Structure 1
Amino acid sequence: MRRRPEAMFFAPFSRRAPTARLRQVAIALGLPLDREPHTRLVRDAIAWRGPERLHPHDYDHIALQLTGHANAVAAEVRHRCAALPLWAEPRVLAELLLEEAERRLGQPRLSTARCVQMRARQLRALYDRLDHLTTVSRGPEHASRCGAHAGS
């Protein structure tokens, strides 16, 4: 009996495999990032105060979700960064952020609110850098059009 090709993306089932593989498939297919739900999750996680209210497995699951999405956003930042000149300031700043993201996201997940908040802050920084690179990649003609409209 032959397995369907899409079934290969989800097997073997391990604790980390589904999210990581789904992100790899999404990146390979060029699917857009699902930004809105992750942005809300980041905002809510950063706003947590006081004692930990969730079960440790819940924190671990949220951290895994944020890590997977942060890796997908980092791949997009890397892609946008590669199109810039080698010594361009936006590229240098993006590469510094990518090094930091790789170091932080590579740390073991702790089933705590603090770990979730660190990953949420990292995802927020990656999205900020992606937005900046998107603005830069539009080029000078976009900036002049924006400037012309602002002065009118």
Structure 2
Amino acid sequence: MSDTHVVLYDPFGLIEAELPLDRAPYEALVTAVLAWTDPHLEPRDYEQIALQLTGHARAVAADVRRHAAALPKSDGRGALAEVVLREADGGLSVPLKGTAQCVQNRARLARALYTRLDRLIEPLPAAT
């Protein structure tokens, strides 16, 4: 076996765009985290969960950006997506803390991004 590796150059994220998100486990994690009332975890455990949610939220945000960019400028869903993306960018830029509150904030971000993604990919109702 060789000790070499290949570095992938994909500045536009085209390969990532073709990979579907494995949504179910993260939605289950978000639901569980948001149901917490008084968990007693170690700070490093909170940090690990927050890292998982942060990475996934960034991937969902990238999907939201791609779908919003494909919409016509006159489609209001794109403007709403930009608002959610700005809020997500702000929330994701906050440093992680080893607390339940931090994890729950990341879970709320992921849920908001999924809600916006769903609205971007659902077909508009036909005009009557």
Distance 1:40 1:73 in 2: 15
Shift of 1:89: 1.3
Aligned residues: 122
1:48 equivalent in alignment to 2:36: yes
Distance 1:83 1:71 in 2: 19
Residue correspondence of structure 1 range 7-46 to structure 2 within 5 A: 27=16, 30-46=18-34
Of 133, 137, 142 in structure 1, the residue corresponding to residue 120 of structure 2 is: 133
What is the TM-score when the length of structure 1 is the normalising length? 0.73
Find the counterpart in structure 2 of residue 74 from structure 1: 61
1:94 equivalent in alignment to 2:100: no
Corresponding letter in the other structure for 1:4: H
Shift of 1:33: 0.2
Corresponding letter in the other structure for 2:66: H
SS in structure 1 opposite 2:117? helix
Distance 1:95 1:85 in 2: 14
* Greater relative contact order (Cα < 8 A, sep 6+): 2
Gaps of 5+ in 1: 10-23, 145-152
RMSD of Structure 2 on Structure 1 (CA): 2.2
Which structure has the larger Rg over C-alpha atoms?
Answer: 1
Could you list the structure 1 runs, at least 4 aligned residues long, displaced by more than 3 angstroms after superposition. Answer: none
Gaps of 5+ in 2: none
What is the TM-score when the length of structure 2 is the normalising length? 0.86
SS in structure 2 opposite 1:98? helix
Give the percent of matched residue pairs that are identical in Structure 1 and Structure 2: 48
